Structure 1
Amino acid sequence: MRHYEIVFIVHPDQSEQVPGMIERYTKIVTDGNGTVHRCEDWGRRQLAYPINKIHKAHYVMMNIECTDKELDELTSIFRYNDAVLRNLVIKRDGPITEETDLYKAELADKAEKESRARRESERAAAAAQEETKVAEASESTAPEQESAESDKPEAAESTDETEA
């Protein structure tokens, strides 16, 4: 069996179907006693040049070990699947299992976005808690202020009586 690196680009309107496509292609390889060493879903990215007036597409990269029969089946599926805009198959010397720099950067961006969203939600929760504390504090001091204000008019009335 030989090692191959496969990259295929999927039409952006078919992005929801990419996980199913990956599963189907992985099944083809594993049914033929092959192995998938690495499978990376790079997501929707800008194309270097428009393909059929499309500027963005969904990228997927797989490193597999399979026979020529499975490889021919995969390439024919790519050729006749309208959702696959382009594909590239490269013969490799051995299995490549480490993640690509592009995929690592994408994972780091995703983790950063999640942590940023978590921090924002924590800030919003803390602000909401602070607002409720302030509201409760103002409600508890409001009766005291009312009683103090009610004392003031009486005092003002008493001064009016003394002046007259």
Structure 2
Amino acid sequence: MNKYELTVVVSANVEEEVRLASVEQIKELISRFAGTVTNVDDWGKKRLAYEIQKMKDGFYYFIRFDAEPTCPAEIESRIRIMEPVIRFLCVRDEKK
């Protein structure tokens, strides 16, 4: 199993319940594709580096998980269609 870090930026224009439900949904996706969530860091509301869809702020989440190499592609394809998520990036953690 490989270690991955998923960075998710959720829109600041949605309700708190929707934002938290989106993060829970992502964690469930990781579990569904045989991944194990090891850590979730909530960085809170931050200013975006540039305006995205006329938004200047977003809520940042960093999710670390262990999974097989096919898992990130499956997760990304589902996150891509989630309305509250405005940006995401999944990278393999090279630290051993």
TM-score, normalisation: structure 1: 0.52
Letter paired with 2:6: I
Whole-angstrom distance in 2 between the partners of 1:44 and 1:27: 23
Residue of structure 2 equivalent to 1:34: 35
Q: Which runs of 5+ in 2 are unaligned?
A: none
- Residues 15 and 58, structure 1, Cα contact 8 Å, conserved in 2: no
Measured after TM superposition, the shift of residue 25 of structure 1 is 1.7
Q: Which has the higher strand share?
A: 2
Higher RCO (C-alpha under 8 Å, 6+ residues apart): 2
Identity %: 25
State the Cα deviation string for residues 78-128 of structure 1 (Å, max 9, x = none): 211232111111111247xxxxxxxxxxxxxxxxxxxxxxxxxxxxxxxxx
Residue of structure 2 equivalent to 1:78: 79
Q: Provide runs of 4+ in structure 1 moved above 4 Å.
A: none
Q: Which has the higher helix share?
A: 1
Measured after TM superposition, the shift of residue 63 of structure 1 is 0.7
Q: Which runs of 5+ in 1 are unaligned?
A: 96-164
Letter paired with 2:44: G
| Alignment pair present for 1:51 and 2:52 | yes
Higher gyration radius (CA): 1
Matches within 5 A, 1:6-17: 6-16=6-16, 17=18
Residue of structure 2 equivalent to 1:126: none
CA RMSD after TM alignment: 1.8
Whole-angstrom distance in 1 between the partners of 2:81 and 2:33: 21
Whole-angstrom distance in 1 between the partners of 2:30 and 2:62: 14
Q: How many residues align?
A: 95
TM-score, normalisation: structure 2: 0.83
